[in-house]
Amino acid sequence: MTEGWLDFEKPIADVEEEIEELSAIGGFAEQIAQLRAKAEKLKQKTYSGLTAWQQVQLARHPRRPYTLDYIERIASEFVELHGDRGFGDDPAIVAGIGQIEQLRLGIIGHQKGRDTRDKIRRNFGMPHPEGYRKALRIMQTAARFGLPVLALVDTPGAYPGVGAEERGQAEAIARNLREMVMLPAPVVVVVTGEGGSGGALALAVGDRILALENSVYSVISPEGCASILWRDGARAAEAATTLKITSTDLLRFAIIDEVVPEPLGGAHSDWDAAARSLKQSVLSSLTELARLSTEELLTRRVDKFRAMGVYATA
């Protein structure tokens, strides 16, 4: 029962295991009710005071919903499109045209794998340049037909392999940044898990940037930061706190516009509830953006990103 639970979740897992055992036997309704109340209190205590490192762990949780899981729950239709028209297809990025309620839109997102074979096929959610070029093709297609774009971000970072570099990884990311800034369509970005460096930013230049409650967004992983600053990857937890990468920190620094609440226990504990929350926030943002002219949209987008990193000194 404790398999798949994080270390700090083990007390909750133990109680849930007791509930399952008593439920299987039958005849322990009162004890089960008491255990459920105990589990609820443990969840409230555990998830209301998470450290930055614990939120990193939740953002990487192997049972956390990925792009295709959200699409399945929020889109009534979705036609996935493949290939970058130049080299090939990259399964680490999902891209296509979909419909959420009455709204047609382009949908793109990183996709990690579930089992070993799928993880390898999707390169653990780390895109090659053809993945970014595919995403850009879909975004431009959506804009051409007057459709908004939804981008779901969840990647450790762009793939740093030799082949990816030979095929222009840096250029592909840079091109996406440039083209997204001037894309003549509303763009809503949601960081659903890990927002890792340029690999995330290549899909994250938008008019509204949202982040799920337990997601993280940073220029570098805590482990990488610790290795560079202190030459000790074991200090990742300290680095996570220092980097200010949690959704709360990101909102405070105006890197994101909204924190999307997750169900108690994290998005992995209730995919349907997490998807409902995401859908509500996305539709609300797109409704607001639909009121703006293209000129207003682009001006605000440029101003938004130019203001990031601005600070005042006494």
Q: What is the pLDDT of the chain when averaged over all its residues?
A: 93
The predicted model gives 62-73 an average pLDDT of: 96
Answer yes or no: is pLDDT of 74 > 70.
yes
Strand partners, 79: 97
Q: Write down the CATH number for the domain with range 55-307.
A: 3.90.226.10
For residue 161, what pLDDT is reported?
95
- Say how many C-beta atoms besides its own lie within 10 A of residue 88's C-beta: 14
- Say how many C-beta atoms besides its own lie within 10 A of residue 13's C-beta: 17
Tell me if residue 167 falls in helix, strand or coil: coil
- Confidence at 314, pLDDT banded by 50, 70, 90: low
The predicted model gives 121-131 an average pLDDT of: 96
The predicted model gives 178-183 an average pLDDT of: 96
**Are the beta carbons of 255 and 57 closer than 8 angstroms?**
no
Answer yes or no: is pLDDT of 26 > 60.
yes
- Confidence at 230, pLDDT banded by 50, 70, 90: very high
For residue 310, what pLDDT is reported?
72
With pLDDT > 90 as the criterion, what percentage of the chain qualifies? 80
With pLDDT > 70 as the criterion, what percentage of the chain qualifies? 98
The predicted model gives 88-93 an average pLDDT of: 96
Q: What is the DSSP letter of 115?
A: S
Q: Which of 12, 77, 19, 18 is nearest to 47 (CA)?
A: 12
Q: Which of 38, 2, 28 is nearest to 17 (CA)?
A: 2
The predicted model gives 228-234 an average pLDDT of: 91
**Are the beta carbons of 128 and 90 closer than 8 angstroms?**
yes
pLDDT tens-digit series, residues 242-272: 999 999 999 999 999 999 999 988 999 899 9
Answer yes or no: is pLDDT of 87 > 60.
yes
The predicted model gives 223-237 an average pLDDT of: 92
Q: What is the DSSP track for 199-263? A: HHHTT---SEEEEETT-EEESS-HHHHHHHHTS-GGGHHHHHHHHT-BHHHHHHTTSSSEEEP--
Q: Where are the domains of the chain?
A: 10-49, 55-307
For residue 1, what pLDDT is reported?
44
Strand partners, 190: 152, 210
pLDDT tens-digit series, residues 149-163: 999 999 999 999 999
The predicted model gives 226-231 an average pLDDT of: 93
CA distances from 285 to 67, 112, 151, 275, 289 (A): 19, 26, 13, 15, 6
